[in-house]
Amino acid sequence: MTHVLLDTSPIIAHLRGKLDLPSVLPQDGLLFTSLFTVGELEKGINRVGHPEKERAQVESFLKGIAILMPDEATAAAYGKISGRLDSQGQRIPENDMWIAAVALECGMKLATGDAHFERVAGIELLSLSW
């Protein structure tokens, strides 16, 4: 069984009709996302002219997905990722380091459209395009 952690970018692409997530994700697993992704979605909701419509879409989508909460193991994974990328001069966006930490901590594939996750050692990516 393949468990997949959804990054923000494929969720947004799906909600905008640019990507059909069920057709590109493994059918034999469970879908998850992180609290950090939910925060990024909330940021987007609050930047648009009609947040109530956007919120309804996001809430409907998230009903079928487990949201993973960070803990001390997440913080430890984040520290390793952040330290390694800093020392290599290969920094990625802050929230993406946390999202990568959740994927590594939980041993999940990360579904994303963002190539910068390739800089994270040990992460298994499900690279998507739209």
What CATH number corresponds to the domain at position 78?
Answer: 3.40.50.1010
The whole-number pLDDT of residue 41 equals 97
The whole-number pLDDT of residue 66 equals 96
Q: Which structural domain, as residue segments, surrounds residue 71?
A: 4-127
Among 10, 21, 99, 11, smallest CA distance to 57 is for 11
Among 68, 65, 66, smallest CA distance to 102 is for 68
Query: Which residues, other chains included, contact 125 with Cβ-Cβ below 8 Å and sequence gap of 6+?
Result: 109, 110, 111, 112, 117, 118
Instruction: Please answer whether residues 37 and 73 qualify as being in contact, where contact means their C-beta atoms are separated by less than 8 angstroms.
Output: no
The whole-number pLDDT of residue 62 equals 97
Q: Which amino acid is at 122?
A: G
Domain count within the chain: 1
Give the residue ranges of the chain where pLDDT is below 50.
none
